[in-house]
Chain A
């Protein structure tokens, strides 16, 4: 089999995992979408209006406009992480869905990649909802904002891979609290979602800049508010590096866990 044929086969099989998941999602799309729209509306209105009164302008933007891009990126992180941890763990361990898939020609790498693709799709759905809400609230500067969607997808790929790496070691759902409490929450608080990071001590700023969320926000904020996008490749590289490394490690570990 040629290399190209192999890659095509890998992608086709991963897509069949993705299709399975979107089929499940479509059955419960109503409540799921309500959550996708409802939550950002609440955040933007309550924090944007309420806190915005005290804060005034941030980096030359209304607080709500500043916040919108942060909320969009956070939701990309949360959507992919939840799917890559709780949902994926259910399919791996509780329902043994993956073991069923592995009795077909599908291999572990294809299951993992299919799950990553799907979790990133959830990020895409969630960010799309936020963009619609933001547009209705007049928070979107111009058509460049459409490029937020691919960034959201890539951010989703990155955090889905990290979440699956966590899942590969999970013994129960409680395990995920370590990751969310020790990694996701501090990252969200420090990466410039709610305030610009230059108010932070230098050392913390550097730490933040190593983490992937900061780079997602650095791309999304100017795209949303009509600012100038800089260091595109650096930001994309960090997201891709985290994602690729985590995806490979996750595949290796899940393979060890299931094929034993």
Chain B
């Protein structure tokens, strides 16, 4: 056996950098992910999430810094590392020329897994992905959710130690998304290490035991989601829509307001109780507001700003 099985650090990078046209997309990234962790990476478009994931499997040359996966230095051991890694890519690349079942079988053959083992494993994975009845179907006959579940099943064909998921639920309806979540939780229970990128804060909050907020190729925040919410932002948020200047003046008098932001015609007041502001609102005729506990999105916005990213 190689060192892969012994190391508790599944991912370890030091000053890992990637430049495109002189601009650092990943900038001196120091990252350690331990075995069994379900790690979510959040960040706006262009933050360097996908590039980081691509480096993990040797799909992107490293410009400087060091990276080892499962204890093996990259990119020299890319091929060996990929034997023990599963990848769910952002863009579906299921094999349209094959049936559901064949997709798993042919993919398994790329790992050099024997036909006999694959027959058994294909059956198990179809069951895991709730696709037994679709085994003989063409890919074009599958719904978006089924395709993603098949892509997930395909990523497990080599019994990986690390599963990398790049926006696995983007574009899915809530039912399909919940189904994927449930499968991912099962995998986590089995002790698999998972790394996921997502634009859905709720997804990261519910699934991950560690969340990394990335922007401009750097780590902006890194902790358990509950801890991030507790430590990085105030406990409550008051969102007031389309308020008059006069009303805003009154609201601002609340001494418990710690922070105040404006985005379009929405005003965000951050604070612990905000009781004065709430009273003002109740007395006024203005009913277009929302008072809620802070969530991961507030943390995200705090670190990455409200500006649009294209």
Contact = CB atoms under 8 A, between A and B. Distances in A.
A102 B111 CA distance: 10
Contact of A23 (B60, B94, B102): B102
A245 interface: no
Given A23-B102, A259-B58, A16 B89 contact: no
Interface string B71-113: 0000000111011010101010111111000100011011110
Contact of B111 (A19, A97, A105): A105
Given A99-B89, A105-B83, A27 B60 contact: no
Contacts of B83: 105
A20 B58 CA distance: 23
B82 A104 contact: yes
Interface in A1-40: 12-13, 16-17, 19-20, 23-24, 27
Contacts of A104: 82, 107, 110-111, 158
- Interface SS majority for chain A: helix
Given A103-B57, A105-B111, A96 B98 contact: no
Contacts of A99: 59, 89, 93
A106 B97 contact: no
B112 A12 contact: yes
Interface string A101-115: 111111100000000
B97 A27 contact: yes
Contacts of B109: 16, 19-20
Interface in A68-124: 95-97, 99-107
Contacts of B61: 259-260
Nearest to A95: B96
- Interface SS majority for chain B: loop
A17 B111 CA distance: 11
Contacts of B107: 100, 104
Nearest to A19: B109
Interface in B134-179: 155, 158
A95 B92 CA distance: 9
A100 B87 CA distance: 9
A200 to B, nearest CB: 43
Nearest to B58: A259
Most buried by B among A20, A103, A259: A103
Contact of A24 (B60, B98, B158): B98
A101 B108 CA distance: 10
Contacts of B79: 105-107
A99 B109 CA distance: 16
A95 B93 contact: yes
Contacts of A12: 112
B80 A105 contact: yes
A260 B60 contact: yes
B15 to A, nearest CB: 21
Contacts of A96: 89, 91, 93
Contacts of B59: 99, 102-103, 258-259
A161 B107 CA distance: 25
A109 to B, nearest CB: 11
A249 B85 CA distance: 29
Interface in B217-266: none
Contact of A97 (B57, B60, B93): B93
A95 B110 CA distance: 17
Contact of B95 (A16, A100, A106, A258): A100
Interface string B25-66: 000000000000000000000000000000001111100000
B82 A105 contact: yes
Contacts of B111: 104-105
A254 to B, nearest CB: 13
Nearest to B83: A105
B60 A259 contact: yes
B112 A105 contact: yes
A258 B61 CA distance: 11
Nearest to A255: B61
A87 to B, nearest CB: 10
Contacts of B158: 104
A27 B106 CA distance: 14
23 contacts: A13-B110, A17-B110, A19-B109, A24-B97, A24-B98, A96-B89, A96-B91, A97-B93, A99-B93, A100-B89, A100-B95, A101-B110, A102-B59, A103-B87, A103-B89, A104-B107, A104-B111, A104-B158, A105-B80, A105-B110, A105-B112, A259-B59, A260-B61
Interface of B: 57-61, 78-80, 82-83, 85, 87, 89, 91, 93-98, 102, 106-107, 109-112, 155, 158
Q: Which 8 A/B pairs are nearest by Cβ-Cβ distance?
A: A96-B93, A104-B110, A103-B87, A100-B93, A24-B97, A105-B79, A105-B82, A16-B109
Interface of A: 12-13, 16-17, 19-20, 23-24, 27, 95-97, 99-107, 258-260
Given A24-B98, A104-B158, 8 more contacts: A16-B110, A16-B112, A23-B106, A96-B91, A97-B93, A100-B93, A100-B95, A259-B58
